Amino acid sequence: MPVNRINATLTAEQREKAKTALAALSEALPFLIDLGSEERTSMPKFGEANRSFVVKALAIAEAHPEILPGSLSLEEFRVDVQLIEALYPIRHAFETLFRKIEDSYFAAGSEAYVSALLVYQYAKVHNLHTGALEETLDDLGRRFARKSRKSTEAP
């Protein structure tokens, strides 16, 4: 018997409420950008370890602005760090919520898939006796069809 980790129903009202809340969040943060994959990979990586490095570097820059080259704007650096620090708790809360959504989606999908596999097996057994489900089984069976590999031989 399949394990039931989640047993919930998402009503249309709840779904609309969630979509409205996400739209409100997006509206509250109109400056958010969407980087392309090439642009993202070309940029230096920024993660949790780099966050404290950046904050400490700003403190040094503010204490000793004379060491900075003219091409580095202390004010722009400060604004970027302030944005990082302001977004951090929102990002953390969003990641926590997103993980719960992902886990719930995954668990419900996994449970549904296990049940679907059982239905498929029982339908195949039933079909052996009646033949009534042949067309339906063919459709379900396409999920398990192996894709042929293209020949790598030269003509």
Query: By the 8 A CB rule, do 114 and 2 touch?
Result: yes
What's the pLDDT score for residue 51?
95
What's the pLDDT score for residue 137?
83
Cα–Cα distance measured from residue 54 to residue 77, given in angstroms and rounded to the nearest whole number = 9
- Mean pLDDT per 10-residue interval, the chain, length 155 residues: 84 97 97 95 92 96 96 97 97 97 96 91 81 80 72 54
What is the CB neighbour count within 10 angstroms for residue 133?
17
Of 25, 2, 154, nearest to 90 by C-alpha is 25
What's the pLDDT score for residue 146?
72
Neighbouring residues of 119: CB distance < 8 A, sequence distance ≥ 6: none
Cα–Cα distance measured from residue 149 to residue 127, given in angstroms and rounded to the nearest whole number = 31
What's the pLDDT score for residue 65?
96
What's the pLDDT score for residue 14?
97
Query: By the 8 A CB rule, do 2 and 115 touch?
Result: yes
Cα–Cα distance measured from residue 72 to residue 113, given in angstroms and rounded to the nearest whole number = 55
Query: By the 8 A CB rule, do 123 and 136 touch?
Result: yes
